[in-house]
Amino acid sequence: MKKILTKLICTMLVICMLCSSLLACSNNNWSGSTISLAPSKAGSLVENGGFIAETEKYIYFINGMADSNSDNTLGTPVKGALLVAEKSNLSKTEIVVPKLFVASNSSAGLFIDGEYVYYGTPSTEKNSQGEIASDELVFARTKLDGSGQTDTFFTVDNIGIEYRIVKGNGAVCIYYYDTENSAIMCYDTGDNKAYEVIKTDGEQENYYSLDKYVFLDADGSNGIIAVLSATVYTDKYDQELAEKNPTYTRPTANYNSIYAIKAGEKQITLVADGKGQGEGDVRIDDKTFAITLVNDEYLFYKETLATNLSKTYAVKVADLLGFANATKTEIVNDTYVAKTNIIEDLDEVYVLGDTKLYKTTLTEKDGIIKEPIMAKDSIGTLLFKEGDFVYYYNTANQIARVSVNAGDEDFGKAVRVSEDVVATTWFNPEIKDNKIFYCDNTAIGASYIKYMDLGAKVVADEEDDTILYLEGSAGLLAQISDADKASIVTAKINALNGKLPEGGLTGTDEDQDFKTALSQAETEYNALDEDVKKLVSEDVSALIGKYNKAIEIVKLYMKLDGIQYCHSKEQAEGFKDEYEENKSAFETFKNAEDRDSIDEMINNNVKALYTSAYKYFSK
């Protein structure tokens, strides 16, 4: 009893510490008086979760993938902050909350309710070593119009915890898995208290203990946010016996149970009780449940009787609270019940076989319905189905899609959707208003949000007509920080070398792509503020001048084009005037400090024009 009392006191102390942090305000006040794009309330919310929260007129979004170690002082972050954009003009954006939205649990994401956005953000407090504790996660809320002060609720010591922010029973609640205490907790922002919902602990007074849990990716049907299995004990915990016997463990039942957690509830709700009929320690109809997978539509679980007979079933999440009367569908092909597959419905499942992407079923024997769609060699990870298309990451970490509609002329053909490499370890891409939004993971993209119009025409590559992609360039949904403006321009300048024609500049149309890219990079560099230009290293910015110098020198060389076909001084006489007119420029270049590095950018055949002229006219 003494041990239990000690635990209760410790638990109350933890709860008090958590609650004492409520409404602890940031040292900085974010003034949102300049926010004019969106109203103070989000309006009619279409969807929460992920990196985009959508209303009828606006998109609230996380402004790219930021580093949790970045400066998180309120008012400082740009990348990783919360922004709002007007749907009718996605280039029109404003910063709503300049804090880092970088919690590692990418299955959670944004939660907006009324005039507030609720979120997790790295701590700005110092740890015992005097360092900023950016590996700790602070849960907070800020008004969408930026007014007032940011309210903080509580802090956990793990930025990677699993959590969900939901609304239930009139209050916003933050559910999270407390790794230190092996417990699912609920922080109610209505009464500003933390509650222990269930934990893994054989010493509690309850007759159950948390086994496996799964948070749903979004608010599930009936407001269910988590499903869990729980070990059942046959006896109360015996404190006296435990003190006498160090190896004492509480005996467990021959069955277990499945529970659900509803939004706003601080207690678990029994879904399925595995205890069979009759008396005695073991009944042949006792059941053990093992959760296989939970998506937003179905709970998949394996049911094992005391006779060791096992079957896998699916039941709709919407029917869980009426489990006894719910339709339970036996799953025949249970090997396909995996997160790596797309389960659109029980008889519409997309799986990667040894060599192909297949459409198959979970309810009939394998092979009865197993339709090949395309070769799997270009597929990396399946994402989701939208309309007639299955979207996936290809092996180059770009977004691609394939039509799974057998009546479509493009059925089974891979089509590249994103022109960029995508951040595959961040939030999944999201489709809004027939546009797909994703995080560009290239150096030039600098981990900001891009989007492609899914209604764009599908076109074939000019050199290989088997390669299909969406026509057009990606749009940008972002505000870019000064540091990233400099890094993007740096990346574009550094990438110019790869755009040079093979062997160097030729002075012909082969140079055009390079010249266009150079012009774009130079324009972007010149458009930078002087303070931002200072963030681009002198060596990099000097490359612009060198490339332009190379183009200038090539033009001079090309004035001698044709001399390569002359076999005597007399035949070359027509080029003498050009040679003499530009001789001083050639000599100056020859003695320039950067001559060698610029020479490397020029085709040898072009440089040979001057060599021939020099041979004929230098004496």
Digit-coded pLDDT (tens) for 361-388: 999 876 567 899 999 999 999 999 999 9
Distance CA 163, CA 403 (A): 34
Distance CA 389, CA 404 (A): 6
Section 87-99 average pLDDT: 92
| SS3 assignment for 154-200 | EEECCCCCCEEEEEECCEEEEEEEECCCCEEEEEECCCCEEEEEEEC
Give the pLDDT band (50/70/90) at residue 220. Answer: low
Residue 5: per-residue pLDDT: 38
Average model confidence (pLDDT) for the chain? 90
**Residues 515-544: what's their mean pLDDT?**
96
pLDDT band at residue 16 using 50, 70 and 90 as cut-offs? very low
Q: Which one, of 417, 423, 413, 421, lies nearest residue 452 by Cα?
A: 417
pLDDT of residue 37: 74
| Locus of tokens 């035949």 | 571
**Across 533-548, average pLDDT:** 96
Tell which wins on pLDDT, 435 or 10. 435
Mean pLDDT within 539-563: 95
Residue 31 has pLDDT above 80, yes or no: no
Can you spell out the DSSP letters for 120-146?
A: EEE--SB-TTSSB-TTSEEEEEEETT-
For the chain, the C-alpha Rg in angstroms (whole number) is: 32
**pLDDT over 50 at 4, yes or no:** no
What is the per-residue pLDDT for 20?
38
Phi first, then psi, for residue 252 (nearest 5°) are -105, 155
Spatial separation of the C-alpha atoms in residues 414 and 594, rounded to whole Å:
47
Based on the number of CB atoms within 10 Å of its own CB, is 156 exposed (0-12), middle (13-18) or buried (19 or more)? buried
Residue 135: how many other CB atoms lie within 10 Å: 15
Q: Which residue has the higher pLDDT, 39 or 466?
A: 466
Structure tokens at 154: 């509580």
Q: Is 365 exposed, middle or buried (0-12, 13-18, 19+ CB in 10 A)?
A: exposed
Tokens (6 digits) for 166: 């939901």
Between 460 and 219, residue with greater pLDDT? 460
pLDDT (tens digit per residue) in 457-468: 999 998 888 899
DSSP code for 306: T
Q: Which pLDDT score, from 0 to 100, does residue 7 have?
A: 41
In this model, does residue 127 exceed pLDDT 90? Answer: no
pLDDT attached to residue 39: 65
DSSP 345-373: ETTEEEEE-SSEEEEE-SSS-TTTSEEEE
Share of the chain above pLDDT 90, in %: 76
What is the average pLDDT across 21-38? 52
Integer Cα distance of 395 and 325 in angstroms: 45
Band of pLDDT at residue 429, cut at 50, 70 and 90: very high
- Inform me whether the pLDDT recorded for 117 exceeds 70: yes
* Section 134-147 average pLDDT: 90
pLDDT of residue 29: 53
Over the stretch 579-612, which tens digit does the pLDDT of each residue have?
Answer: 999 889 988 988 888 999 999 999 999 999 999 9
**What does the pLDDT read at residue 463?**
84
CA-CA distance, 353 to 355, in Å (whole number)?
Answer: 5
- Residues 518, 132: Cα–Cα separation, whole Å: 41
221: confidence class by pLDDT, cuts 50, 70, 90: low
